[in-house]
Amino acid sequence: MALEEFEKEQMSDREKGYIRMRSIMDYGMGLLWTAMGVFIIFIKKFSLDLAERYDSGVFKVFGIVCVIYGIFRIYRGYKKKYLRDR
């Protein structure tokens, strides 16, 4: 069986539900990670007390990593390639 034939195979209702649940979870977690990254990058505008305690450079680097990971989670939810390796 060629790879193209495998991808055209009909999925069961259980597999469709699993893919839908994982996709929604990836969208939600992606939005949360992205929002947390934006909050951390612009921490001085939100909370001065927390921003004064820690180094600004570390906050910015961690915020950028969070935004990148959030975008990756949103992309993974969009692609929906969860059952391809089985």
| Residue 81: per-residue pLDDT | 79
* pTM confidence score: 0.75
The pLDDT confidence band at residue 5, using thresholds 50, 70 and 90, is low
Q: Is residue 54 part of a domain?
A: yes
**Inter-residue contact 65 to 41 (CB < 8 Å):** no
| Residue 18: per-residue pLDDT | 84
Q: Is residue 5 part of a domain?
A: no
Query: How far is the C-alpha of 5 from the C-alpha of 3, rounded, in Å?
Result: 5
Q: Is residue 62 part of a domain?
A: yes
Q: Is residue 16 part of a domain?
A: no
The pLDDT confidence band at residue 62, using thresholds 50, 70 and 90, is very high
**Inter-residue contact 49 to 57 (CB < 8 Å):** no
Q: Is residue 68 part of a domain?
A: yes
Q: Is residue 12 part of a domain?
A: no
Q: Is residue 6 part of a domain?
A: no
Total domain count, the chain: 1
Q: Is pLDDT at 82 greater than 90 in this prediction?
A: no
Domain holding 78, by residue range, is: 31-86
Q: Is residue 49 part of a domain?
A: yes
| Residue 68: per-residue pLDDT | 97
